[in-house]
């Protein structure tokens, strides 16, 4: 994409308005860096899809995810952060200032870049999911749960998200069944206990979603599950040289002894199977990505990436902790790291000049 050399150059552009981006915005704005904050396709990030946040320090009664985000945005705006809508389609990071090319055709230029693009809900890979996503298949119980009053619904996954979705759905659905691919939950003790102890939630262990039935007109009408008495059917299926696509799995299911298929009559399916980092626009740049797609940061306690002047915060760089409070922490670190970096001579020069400085 061609750059717009007339676009003004900012000191800092922050990409993302989840808790990490907002925390970076508060710190950068208070440091008089007048950050520009790009609000992408999922404004506010994952917290806006959650109900109560009970473990964010300072809120003994819990706080709504949406409220936390709205308050963070107000706080950053108060100190001078500027928010604009814009999704980064790709970035030119091989010279300074960096150029961000937005999907609406605009270009934004910046000396320092803070990437806080978070992660988006992972899909399971079941047959039929692409057609029925939004028509009975959902990645957000708080958004779509109310459409399933009186339905029997499934929640896929065994982590905190799945438990939270299941508990929330008990308000609307006739029955909520958690389908987990193993027989042990990944969820935290407190969430697992809450879900296991709730009368409205039942569990299907060692089971995977193979196929979703229905149509855009009717919505979801049922599913086919596969299960294996010894647990985690995919492990067995992945051993197949035929691959791991739904069709391959279906074929292998027929061949593999011990695996059972079962049709269930359900009206809604909620995915809670984790997230994938939003780093597509960094592919092919000097910002190194891990195999998982997460941004690699330098060793030690820093948000510096492998490219000078680019910093990363929140779930986009954190495959391990992924908490609202840790995202807020890395957001503030990214702003402080960017502020330090902007004071160095390399920040105003070209990439070649800063490489020469580094070699000295």
Q: Tell me whether the omega of the peptide bond preceding residue 352 falls within 30 degrees of 0, making it cis.
A: no
144 assigned to active site: yes
Q: Catalytic: which of 4, 95, 131, 143?
A: 143
3 state SS of 256: coil
| Nearest Cα to Cα of residue 11 among 298, 344, 319 | 344
120, 177, 195, 321 from 270: Cα distances, Å: 14, 10, 15, 23
Which helix (H) or strand (E) segment holds residue 258: the answer is none
Question: Residue 143, Cβ neighbours under 10 Å: how many?
Answer: 12
Other beta carbons within 10 Å of 191: 20
Q: Is 22 in the site for ligand NAP (CB under 6 A)?
A: no
Contacting residue, 3, 43, 246, 274, with ligand NAP by CB under 6 A: 274
Bridge partners (DSSP) listed for residue 269: 137, 154
**Cβ-closest residue to ligand NAP?**
159
Is there binding between residue 304 and ligand NAP (CB under 6 A)?
no
Among 15, 20, 124, 333, interactor with ligand NAP by CB under 6 A? 124
Integer-rounded Cα radius of gyration of the chain? 23
Taking contact as CB under 6 A, which single stretch among the options 120-128, 136-144, 291-299, 335-343 is the one that binds ligand NAP?
120-128
Q: Which of 160, 211, 308, 339 binds ligand NAP (CB under 6 A)?
A: 160
> Stretches 80-88, 196-204, 248-256, 271-279: which one binds ligand NAP (CB under 6 A)?
271-279
x/- mask, ligand NAP, residues 210-249, rule CB under 6 A, reads ----------------------------------------
Number of residues that bind ligand NAP (CB under 6 A): 23
x/- mask, ligand NAP, residues 164-203, rule CB under 6 A, reads x----------------xx---x-x--x------------
Question: Minimum CB separation from ligand NAP for residue 356, in Å?
Answer: 42
How far apart (Å, rounded) are the C-alpha atoms in residues 200 and 112? 50
Active site residue 32: no
| Contact criterion met (CB below 8 Å) for 114 and 18 | no
98 Cβ contact partners less than 8 Å away, ≥ 6 residues apart: 13, 91, 92, 109, 110, 111, 113, 309, 310
Q: Is 140 in the site for ligand NAP (CB under 6 A)?
A: no
> % helix / strand / coil in the chain, to the nearest 5?
30, 25, 40
Q: 272, 309, 314, 329: which one contacts ligand NAP (CB under 6 A)?
A: 272
Tell me whether residue 223 or residue 273 sits nearer to ligand NAP (CB atom). Answer: 273
CB within 8 A of 150, min separation 6: which ones? 172, 173, 174
Pick from 21, 65, 97, 159: which binds ligand NAP (CB under 6 A)? 159
Nearest of 57, 79, 78 to residue 68 by alpha carbon: 57
Give the three-class secondary structure for 9. strand
307-346 binders of ligand NAP (CB under 6 A) = 322
Nearer to ligand NAP, 152 or 183 (CB): 183
Pick from 23, 138, 161, 227 the residue near ligand NAP by CB under 6 A: 161
Q: Which residues bind ligand NAP (CB under 6 A)?
A: 55, 122, 124-125, 156-162, 164, 181-182, 186, 188, 191, 208, 272-275, 322
Give the active site residues: 140, 143-144
């Amino acid at each position: 994409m061609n750059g717009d050399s007339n676009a003004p150059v900012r000191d800092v552009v922050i990409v993302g308005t989840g808790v990490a981006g907002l925390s970076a915005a508060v710190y950068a704005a208070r440091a008089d860096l007048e950050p520009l904050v790009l609000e992408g396709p999922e404004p506010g990030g994952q917290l806006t899809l959650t109900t109560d946040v009970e473990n964010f320090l300072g809120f003994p009664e819990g706080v709504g995810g949406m409220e936390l985000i709205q308050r963070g945005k107000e706080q950053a705006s108060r100190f001078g952060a500027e928010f604009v809508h814009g999704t980064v389609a790709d970035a030119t990071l091989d010279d300074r200032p960096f150029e961000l090319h937005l999907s609406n055709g605009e270009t934004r230029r910046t000396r320092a870049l803070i990437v806080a693009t978070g992660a988006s809900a992972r899909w399971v890979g079941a047959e039929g999911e692409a057609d029925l996503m939004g028509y009975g298949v959902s990645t957000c119980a708080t958004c779509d749960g109310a459409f399933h009053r009186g339905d029997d619904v499934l929640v896929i996954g065994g982590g905190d998200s799945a438990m939270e979705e299941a508990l929330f759905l008990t308000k609307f659905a006739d029955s909520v069944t958690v389908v987990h691919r193993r027989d042990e939950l990944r969820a935290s003790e407190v969430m697992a206990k809450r879900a296991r102890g709730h009368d409205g939630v039942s569990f299907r262990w060692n089971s995977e979603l193979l196929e979703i039935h229905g149509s855009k007109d009717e919505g979801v009408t049922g599913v086919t599950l596969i299960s294996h008495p010894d647990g985690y059917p995919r492990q067995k299926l992945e051993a197949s040289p035929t691959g791991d696509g739904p069709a391959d799995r279906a074929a292998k299911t027929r061949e593999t002894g011990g695996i059972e298929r079962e049709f269930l009559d359900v009206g809604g399916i909620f995915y809670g199977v984790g997230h994938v980092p939003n780093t597509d626009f960094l592919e092919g740049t000097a910002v190194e990505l891990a195999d998982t797609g997460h941004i690699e940061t330098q060793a030690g306690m820093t948000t510096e990436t492998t490219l000078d002047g680019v910093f990363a915060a929140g779930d986009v760089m954190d495959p391990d902790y992924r908490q609202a409070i840790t995202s807020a922490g890395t957001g503030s670190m990214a702003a402080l790291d960017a502020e330090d970096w902007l004071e160095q001579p390399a920040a105003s020069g070209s990439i070649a000049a800063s490489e020469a400085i580094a070699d000295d």
